[in-house]
Amino acid sequence: MELKIDDILGQIQLPQKSVPLCLRADLQARFDSLERELRAAQRAPEQDSLAGMGAAAREIATQIEATRAEMQRHTVEFRLQALPQKQWSDLLKKHPPRKGNKDDDMADYNVGTFPVAALAACSVSPEMTEEDAGRLVDAITNGQWARLNMALGELNNGGAEVPFSAAASALAGGTQTS
């Protein structure tokens, strides 16, 4: 049977990407401090006994795991979906580069408005307006925004190749193909 374009069009599912962001990034400082304490406890000369030194390190390790768990509880997953090519192109046209702005000229769009509009247009969960997206971007760190923005670019400008996981293939008994 010959493949028809309508058959192909009916199968298209736009790529999606999940971007987890910890909303309590302040906890990273506690985690880092505890990590330093743990390394120091592991290097410290033995106190009264191996058990005593191990107990201190275990207590710190428990605190590290509790901090990680707290960070995970405050992590939100942003589910982004690519836009169809025409919709992406139309969105770009709504945010032309500003005259004389070097960053805009390099990107070929208004770097101050387009990424926020793209976030609003591509966010599946949580759904958000451009105003919501702007408020989010203003509240998160530059690094967190960079992760979201990079995902938007990868989704809308990258290909949809079949991924390969060496770990999954080894466990499932599959064959490596790439």
Q: 14-27 pLDDT, tens per residue?
A: 999 999 999 998 99
DSSP secondary structure letter of residue 162: P
What is the mean pLDDT of the segment spanning 88-100?
97
Q: What is the mean pLDDT of the chain?
A: 91
pTM above 0.75, yes or no: yes
Q: Which residue has the higher pLDDT, 41 or 88?
A: 88
The single residue listed with the structure tokens 């293939």 is: 169
Note the pLDDT tens digit of each residue in 132-157.
999 999 999 999 999 999 999 999 99
- Helix locations, 44-165, DSSP H: 50-73, 85-93, 102-107, 114-122, 130-139, 142-157
